[in-house]
């Protein structure tokens, strides 16, 4: 993987602890959902670090002062279906965030992304769009989803995942060099079936109990 300044790998102990629990094959659906939520919440703090602010006057019980409100609209775009497991966490810290959806699945034979749904808020055109998917494996799904989102006018996009493979980071950074990538962990690589190793298995199956 090329040294890429646009890749942010989380190094907070709380995230490392939770990622380790998430990987464990004995972690059940309930715990997996809770951990995905908690990691996404902690990562939401990092992905929104550069949000634009505007001055806002507020009257405290003592005096008037000028503070800040967030200026940009934030649009969350989970890649169906596993990205859904990350949405509620970010909405809990940004209750006004808009939410769009991109439906993609990896063809099990070709591992190429197949689109089946795309519905986005118009605010992707001038807000910050955060694309959510727990797994960045070959990078095909993320790159295709961001293609669709850009076709609908989005300019300021970040990609947030729980586990990334170096191969996926490379593909996504080449396809969309303007998109910053945030991952809770960067793994060793992909196996012969394009699953991330050590990874956590199939994120959608583990989130929704479809194993
Ligand atoms: C998983 C995952 C990503 C994709 C990553 O979804 O949630 O969207 O694979 O793989 P890639 O980087 O090689 O494209 P999957 O296709 O299993 O669909 P699902 O969410 O419906 O289970
Ligand atoms: N999709 C997953 O859910 N897991 C992987 O390891 C790769 C793609």
pLDDT of residue 151: 93
Q: Architecture of 7-51+70-208 per CATH?
A: 3-Layer(aba) Sandwich (3.40)
Q: Does residue 1 register a pLDDT over 80?
A: no
Q: Does residue 149 register a pLDDT over 60?
A: yes
pLDDT digit string (tens) for 112-130? 888 999 999 999 999 999 9
pLDDT of residue 11: 96
Residue of minimum CA distance from atom 3 in ligand 1: 135
Active site residue 205: yes
Tell me how far the alpha carbon of residue 58 lies from the centroid of ligand 1, in angstroms: 45
pTM of the model: 0.95
pLDDT of residue 105: 85
Give the C-alpha separation, 13 to 87, whole Å.
22
Task: Choose the catalytic residue: 106, 126, 147, 210.
Answer: 106
Average pLDDT over residues 50-70: 97
Residue of minimum CA distance from atom 7 in ligand 2: 195
Give the domain ranges of the chain.
7-51+70-208
Q: How confident is the model at residue 27 (pLDDT cuts 50, 70, 90)?
A: very high
Residue of minimum CA distance from atom 5 in ligand 2: 195
Closest atom of ligand 2 to CA, residue 206: 3
């Amino acid at each position: 993987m090329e040294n890429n300044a646009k890749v942010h790998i989380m190094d907070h102990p709380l995230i490392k602890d939770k990622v380790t629990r998430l990987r464990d094959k004995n972690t059940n659906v309930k715990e997996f959902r809770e951990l995905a939520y908690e990691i996404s919440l902690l990562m939401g703090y990092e992905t929104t670090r550069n949000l634009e602010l505007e001055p806002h006057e507020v009257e405290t019980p003592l005096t008037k002062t000028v503070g800040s409100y967030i200026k940009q609209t934030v649009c969350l775009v989970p890649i169906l279906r596993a990205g859904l497991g990350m949405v509620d966490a970010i909405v809990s810290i940004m209750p006004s965030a808009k939410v769009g959806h991109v439906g993609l699945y990896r063809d099990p034979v070709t591992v190429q992304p197949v689109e089946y749904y795309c519905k986005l808020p118009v605010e992707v055109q001038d807000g910050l769009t955060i694309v959510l998917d727990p797994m960045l494996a070959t990078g095909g799904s993320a790159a295709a989803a961001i293609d669709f989102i850009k076709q609908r006018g989005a300019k300021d996009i970040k990609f947030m995942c729980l586990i990334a493979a170096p191969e996926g980071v490379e593909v996504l950074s080449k396809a969309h060099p303007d998109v910053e990538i945030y991952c809770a962990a960067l793994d060793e690589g992909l196996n012969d079936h394009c699953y991330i190793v050590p990874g956590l298995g199939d994120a959608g199956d583990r989130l929704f109990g479809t194993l």
